[in-house]
Amino acid sequence: MKILIYLLIAISSLKSFGQTSLIDFGNLAEKNKEWVLLSDNIMGGVTKSKIEYTINSVLLSGDISLDNYGGFSSIKTKYKSFDLSTHMGVKIKFKSTNQKFACTLEDDRNWTQPNYKHEFSAKKDDTWEEVIIYFKDFQEIVIGEPTGNMMKSESLKNIVRMGIMTYEKKEGPFSLEVDYVAFIK
């Protein structure tokens, strides 16, 4: 009986965001609380964007503006601590139009410290696709500029936030719908 209880506890802990190998989006209330919209408005930009949850996905859409040094929109997790060091990368099922995007990882809450990004884009507009991005391919970025370094594997032990953002400063409408994000071993 003890073994069964321990097994159930272990399985239930895998469902918490920090230990799960799958983030499955949808309109359930508990899922909506984990991700927030973050755009260039935080620094004076005027991009218009919104986040919506469908039955099976999250939808980030809007109109990118380059006015006032803007040009991006993103969805990000709230700050928490999670360890991705036992994983090799991330798989994202998505469909999008009119932009390149990047998966982002942060290991520090201070925005002036390095964060890590890897670009992805759709092969066909508005068609479901899957992309696999290996952590070894994430570039180090400081205040929006690549440093030429890659993400260090030890950073994966202390991730405090992940996100998906527009990534080409291209003015105009865009949409990105994400069904799930899976961490691969």
Structure confidence at residue 32 (pLDDT): 61
**Does residue 14 fall inside a structural domain?**
no
Residue 26 lies in a domain: yes
Q: Examine residue 12 and state whether it is found in any structural domain, yes or no.
A: no
pLDDT band at 29 (very low <50, low <70, confident <90, very high): low
Domain interval for residue 31: 21-184
- Buried residues in 113-143 as b, exposed as e (16+ CB within 10 A): ebbbbbebebeeeeeeeebebebeebbbbee
6 found inside a domain? no
Q: Which of 62, 26, 25, 30 is nearest to 46 (CA)?
A: 62
The whole-number pLDDT of residue 30 equals: 62
Q: Is residue 8 part of a domain?
A: no
pLDDT per residue as tens digits for the range 150-161: 999 999 999 999
Give a yes or no: residue 135 inside a domain.
yes
Q: Please report whether residue 133 resides in a domain.
A: yes
Is residue 14 over pLDDT 60?
Answer: no
Please give the tally of structural domains in the chain: 1
| CB of 166 closer than 8 Å to CB of 99 | yes
What is the pTM (predicted TM-score) of this model? 0.83
Query: What are the residues whose beta carbons fall under 8 Å from the beta carbon of 110, sequence distance 6 or more?
Result: none
Query: What b/e sequence results for 68-84 when a residue is b if at least 16 CB atoms lie within 10 Å of its CB, and e otherwise?
Result: eebbbbbbbbeeeebeb
Residue 5 within a domain: no
* 47 pLDDT tier (thresholds 50, 70, 90): confident
What's the CATH number where 61 sits?
2.60.120.430
